[in-house]
Structure 1
Amino acid sequence: MKLEHTLPTPEDTRALGVELAELLQAGDLVVLVGPLGAGKTALTQGIGLGLGVREPVTSPTFVIARVHTGGRLPLVHVDAYRLGSVADVDDLDLDASTDESVTVVEWGQGLVEQLAEEHLEVRLEREDDDVRTAVLVPHGRDWERRLG
């Protein structure tokens, strides 16, 4: 899989999520980094599609975390925007389900990396012409192998 992707449409962003889902295993942590409108939720929707979750994947902004089941693996979708510290993340007790699930965290950089020994960081950017870019950054040997 390429490490850098140009994503002209939201559908392309979702398609990248579907591709990523093929690589995901129970216990994986994916940290999404990027400004508002960069495609974090669209990418997570694609991951949900690729995992086969049944219900729609929507932004968990107001509930902080949603669990989607019914697919190959459960998907825990977290929006850490309103969390101010690692202690706030610990209070969510997310590690209770992370061993059996794929955990995708929006706005989690610097807050959630302790949830897993290794993780995939996806850096999303939105250009002036609404084209998005995604850079996949592996953290750990297993992710380097999977993306290689």
Structure 2
Amino acid sequence: TYTGLIPFTHVDVYRLQSSGEFEDLELVEDAADGVLVIEWGPAVVASVPRDHLLVTLDVTLDEQREISLFPKGSWRGRPLRELQL
């Protein structure tokens, strides 16, 4: 966890086997006032809050990186300029 303007928590959950294991960590509750970044999260997707921004990073055929943003719940319809990218 990094504390700056907004608390930022990054977790790599590729070893977790279930949403229950993820819930036991109570990361969603702990990061309620900040940003929680979940890396390698397919096994825990059922525990992700309804309102979230899914970010995927893919490698293209020419070895470039492609970032895609998928707004979920209340994130839908929000202008991307709010993210200040």
Given the two structures, how large is their TM-score scaled by the length of structure 1? 0.48
Question: Do 1:78 and 1:105's aligned partners in 2 also have CA atoms closer than 8 Å?
Answer: yes
CA RMSD of aligned residues (A): 2.0
Greater relative contact order (CA < 8 Å, ≥ 6 in sequence)? 1
Match 1:116 to one of 49, 64, 71: 49
User: 1:27 is matched with which residue?
Assistant: none
| Structure 1: gaps of 5 or more residues | 1-66
Structure-1 separation of matches of 2:29 and 2:46: 15
Which structure: greater helix fraction? 1
Query: How many matched pairs?
Result: 81
Identity of aligned residues (%): 37
Q: Give the unaligned 5+ runs of structure 2.
A: none
Identify the structure with the greater strand proportion.
2
Deviation of 1:96 (Å): 3.1
Q: Secondary structure at the match of 1:87?
A: helix
1:116, distance to aligned residue in structure 2 (A): 2.0
